Structure 1
Amino acid sequence: MINQWLQRYRSARFVPAPATSVHHHLRITTYQHRQENLKRMARSWSHTAPVLVTVGALTLASGCAFTTNEKDTEKSPARAAASAIPFPGVVSRSEAKRFLQRYVKANNAANAKWDPALLSTVEGGALVEMSKAAYKQKPNMDAKERAEYETPWYYTSPTAKDFHIPPAGAASWFAITVTSWSKVDRKVSKEKALIIFDRDKDGRWKLVASSWIDPKKAELIAHDKHGFAIPVVQTSRKQGGAVAPDQLDEALADIYATGGTKAGDVFKESATTKWMRKIPKTHNSQLKPYAQAEFRHEDTEHQKVYALKTKDGGTLAVFNTALRETDFGMRPDAIINPSLDMQTFVGKKSRPAFLVYYLHQSTAYLPPNRKAELLTSEYEMTQVKGS
């Protein structure tokens, strides 16, 4: 996941005036402490294929083979509890490792070839839609950006406590928390990546969500006496906090639409909410005085919320949000110049108005009896229409 907001500007103009060459590109800001060590990145971590490494010695896994820190695993209370479990989980830990290994190998190959069809064999849901949208922006990347995108990244091998597997019948999905290792800076990330696998309609396991989170938040994920993660089944209900998990997408969209004064008021102030509120202001400053931008919540087919109980009685939730930006002229003779990223969908022709669609994937912590905290968010431009 990238950790800076890359802004390439669009503009609005009078018809008689010469077109400007500036352009605009929306990207994300996420976990704030990643600002320095991932400053060079131009795309999401989930689009740069990780391969697995052993945490202790930082030994790269040969081929894409999965290795485990067995010393830590054997001593883990979760492993000891698992040995006495009278019933199975959604998957076994060894199966989860195999699915992760498969994802790593295919993701590496897909990124090297910019192959969305190959990527679709291991990614699903909102994540694969966002990944495909990112692939479309290849013509707008410089040589360095393309090289970084194609360079493999490495997951560190998760230990027993990093597997968050619900019991069979309680959920259709499972989660893993991992760190990563980069060939560029050769350092293990301090943050945890929360990744989620779910079955598609044909029963195939695919990675459907990924998000960097503070390790302290990852440690809050609760497990029962058998070592199983505890999924929130009734996501339409409040779990003791300020908002139900299913309401998070509308709350996020409200940050763009009103600055978070309505549905978005359920979020406490954070680095993520701050930069989100700046985006509409920045876009309108680019378009003024001849045009303006308005934002609104859109429906999405990716409505499933992945939520886990935390040790303090709260919830850690991963959710998707669709957003529509409407750019329109403020006078009859004003037209808008599309950005480079917009041109991927509609070409270079200037128009009186554009509809720009974005898909977000975000993580929020919902503590009991307090406002929710928007931990991280990432989004891609997925469609543009001109009129």
Structure 2
Amino acid sequence: MRELLNLIKFEYYKMFKKKSLWFILAGLFGLSMLGSVAMLLGNTYDMEGEVTGTRYEEMQAERKNARALGGRTIDAALIQEVQEAYRSYFSQAEEISDEEEKEKLYEDTVKKYEPIMEILSQVYTGSYNSQEFILDLTEDDRNQFYETLKQKQKQLWEEYFFLTKEEESKLLDYQQQIKTPFIYNYGAGWMRYEILLYSLSVFLMLALAICLAPVFGGEYTSKMDALILSSKYGKSKVIQAKLIMAVTFTIGVTTVLLGIQLLEIMLIYGADGWKNPIQFWSLTQIVFPFNQIEAIGIYVLCVILAVLFLTAIVSLLSAKLKSPFGVIVICFMVIIIPMFLDIPEQYRMLNSIYRLLPICMTQEWNVFCHYMYGINNVIVPTYIFIPLFALAAVVLLNIWAFKVFKKHQVA
């Protein structure tokens, strides 16, 4: 065991003595920090092009309004309150011609209800920014908010997805588990983190492909494979050390990077809303009964395992090919090409395989997808199947990489 630990340390030493690694890591952390603040850079403008403030100030104002509604139950009473506020605004706005005065009226009457209005708009109209519909809501409409939501979700499955009866039945079971009525809290920080996870995963995979491509390929190009062959532990522990280093390095970099970005976003936006239902991400499309922190935990696990899946592919290619450059080229293709592909959902088999590519596993809409995987007549949702498949792939590909390089040594 001590010999293996020493070999792992040596592999890390070889990795960290490369200046290129530090440049890549610095770039990754820089991109992570930039992504957290990018949406808050710049100014906001009025209709005449005049600067009205900064985006950061706008975020603070939105957060203040949203926090004022924190803890409110989204029920018929709140919907009626919003409806009356908008009725008051529209009736008074008709008599005002001055845009500044109209804007002030908007701020005083309905601005604070914007977060709730966005939720209502999604359910009643399917749009995020409709307003006039609120005027025509009846008492039955207000009382049937959650029933309307369920109907819209089911309508979406039937019209736009190619689901089996078993999948629809499973989704209905999940739908019944959603806790209602919803309690509203400001949750922009968690939603921002969810949005950034995919783009961060892309850069992370590209960077790790470059960093780990020489894990075996470097031994070929430096003519060190013959020396490894003649070493005491060359046929087993050296290979194990390389694979363990690749796995632990991937876990370490990914975890630290995701953790830093989460911390930065929470410091900027606040950690409010972790109990918000995942439906706030997309009311009519997501039916799984999770709150935001549970969903983020599942999503982060899928991202970590997807990145490990990619690095296992890197290790296998590095053991099989003679040059790190070839490994990088192939891995870049594996990462980038699927981002521009769109497999029609009616081709279920191809679409199911496509969603199991490493980069596709890091997309939120694939993790919490309506489509499921069947295993011996058991329907498994993607948020469970993806991490299980990725974990199995990581183990099998690393075993394959071990055997490939060991076979080379024997030859």
Q: Is the shorter-chain TM-score for this pair beyond 0.5, marking a shared fold?
A: no
Larger helix share, 1 or 2? 2
- Bin the TM-score by the shorter chain: under 0.3
Provide the TM-score with structure 2 as the length reference: 0.25
Larger strand share, 1 or 2? 1
